[in-house]
Structure 1
C-alpha cells in the first residue's frame, strides 16, 4: 500500500472510532448521572516502527509520521448539574463521592445515578435492581407504607432508626473503570466520605454530563475529518490507476 494511502486509512479509522464515542455520548444525553467519554489522540509511528523493524529517530526513511491513532478513551467527571424531581426516592450527591451498590455476584460498584426505587421487599434499589448499601455495607430497607425522611448528610430516618447511605470516593477518579449501566469499578480501595463532606439531596437527580451542542459540533468536525481522509484515499487510488494506465499504454 502506498504510504500516503496508509496514513489516510489510519486517519479515517481513528475518526471512525471517535464518531463511535461521540454517538455513545449523544445516546446518553438523558441518562441520569452519565459521564461523557473523551477519546485521546496520539501521533502514530510509521509502519516499520510499529512492526519493530526500525526504531524512532533512526534517521532512515522510516522515521516519518504515521498519522494518528486513539490511544485511550478517558471519562470526563467534571460536568455536574442537578434537576429537581420532587420524587422521594431520587437522590443526588452535591459534591464528591459515589453511591455504593451491590451487584448480584457480590461485587460493590460506585455510581452517581441516584434514581432509586423501593422494591417489594422494601430494599432501596437502582434501576437495575441492585441494592443500595448503607455505610456499614448492608442493604437499605425502607417500609414504604410508613413515613420516612432523609436528613442532611444522607441519613434515612424511619421509626426512630437512622440508616446512613453509604458514600465512598476513590483516591483519584483515574482509579475508576466504566462497567456500563452508569457503574464504576474502583481499581484501588475507596474511602468513606466523612461527615462534614456528606451532602445528599432528596428529590434531585444529577443530569447527564453530555452537552448536546458540544457533542454535535464534535460530530460535525469528526465527520468532515473522516470524509477528508476517505477523499485522500480516493485521490491516491486514482493517481495510482492513472500511473498504471500510462505504463500500460507506453508498452503497447
Structure 2
C-alpha cells in the first residue's frame, strides 16, 4: 500500500471517531449534569518504528510521520451553568463534589440532580436509580409524610427534610478527577476511594439543575472542522487510488 494512502486512511479514521464524540456531545446539550468528551489526537510514528525496526529521529527513510490517531477519550469536568427549574425535587451542587447513587448494586457518582420520589418514599434519579445517604444507604422517607409535604425538600447543604425525617445526601469528591471512569451520559465510576464533603463544603441550590457542559455553538464549529478534515482525507485516498490505477494501466499497456 502506498504510504500516502495509509496516512490518509488513518487520518480519515481518526476524524470519524472525533465526529462520533462530538455528535454524542451535541445530542446531550440539554442533559442535566452531562460532561462533554474530547477525542485527543496524537501523531503516530511510522510503521517501522512501531514495529521496533527503527527508532525516532534516526534520520532514515523510516523516520517519517505516520499520520494521526485518537490516543484517548477524556472528559471535561468543567461545571455547567446552574438554571432554575422551580421543581422542588431538583438539586444542583454549587461547589465541588458529586452525589452518590446506586446502579446495579454498585456505587456511582453524578452531578445530575434531577431527582424524584417514588410512592414508597424512595429518592431516585431520573433513570430510577437510588440516591444514597452519607451511610451509603438508599434514601427513603415516610411515604405518608411525603404525601402531605408542601414546599422544598432540600436545604442549601444537601439535607432532605420530609416530615420528621432529616437525611443528608451523600456528597463526595475523589482524590483526583482522573480517578473517574464515565458510565453512560451522567454517571461516573470511581476507580479509587472517595471522601465525604465536610459540612462547609456541602453547597447546594434547591430548585436548580446543573446544565450540560456542552456549548452547542463551539461543538458545531468543531464538528464542521472535523467533517472537513475527514473529507480532505477521503479525497486524498481517492487521488492515491486514481494515481495507482493510472500507473497500473500504463504498465499493462507497455507490457
TM-score (norm 2): 0.94
Give the CA deviation at 1:152: 2.3
How far is 1:51 from its partner?
A: 2.7
Aligned to 1:121: 120
Q: Could you list the per-position Cα deviations for residues 32-79 of structure 1 after superposition, in whole angstroms to 9, with x for gaps in the alignment?
A: 110000011111011122233333233321111101111001101114
- Structure 1 residue 209, shift from structure 2 partner: 0.8
Among 205, 209, 219, the alignment partner of 1:205 is 209
2:139 is the counterpart of 1:137 = no
Deviations, residues 180-206 of structure 1 (Å, cap 9, x unaligned):
141100111001111111111111111
Partner of 1:98: 98
**1:195 maps to 2:195:** no
Match of 2:60 in 1: 60
Q: Equivalents in 1 of 2:73, 2:111: separation in Å?
A: 20
Aligned to 1:248: 252
Query: Which residue of the partner structure matches residue 76 of structure 2?
Result: 76
What are structure 2's unaligned runs of at least 5 residues? none
Bigger CA drift: 134-143 or 26-35?
134-143
Structure 2 CA distance for aligned equivalents of residues 3 and 99 of structure 1: 50
1:229 matched to which residue of 2? 233
Shift of 1:127: 1.7
Q: Which residue of 2 aligns with 1:174?
A: 178
- Once residues 242 and 250 of structure 1 are traced to their aligned partners in structure 2, the CA distance between those partners, rounded to angstroms, is 12
Number of equivalent positions: 250
Q: Which consecutive unaligned segments of at least 5 residues does structure 1 have?
A: none
Aligned match of 2:19: 19
The 2-side partners of 1:223 and 1:192 are apart by 43
Listed one character per residue, the Cα deviations across residues 154-201 of structure 1 (whole Å, up to 9, x for unaligned) are 112233432111100111111110011411001110011111111111
The answer to whether 1:108 aligns with 2:112 is no
Q: 1:183 aligns with which of 180, 183, 187?
A: 187
Task: Please identify, of 144-153 and 40-49, the stretch whose mean Cα deviation from structure 2 is larger.
Answer: 144-153
With over 3 angstroms needed to count, the CA separation of the structure-2 counterparts of 1:181 and 1:236, relative to structure 1, is closer
Q: Could you say what secondary structure the match of 1:66 adopts?
A: coil
CA contact (8 A) 2:8 2:236 kept: yes
CA RMSD of aligned residues (A): 1.4
What is the TM-score normalised by the length of structure 1?
A: 0.95
Secondary structure of 1:201's aligned partner = strand
Give the C-alpha shift of residue 80 in structure 1.
1.3
Does residue 1:216 correspond to 2:220, yes or no?
Answer: yes
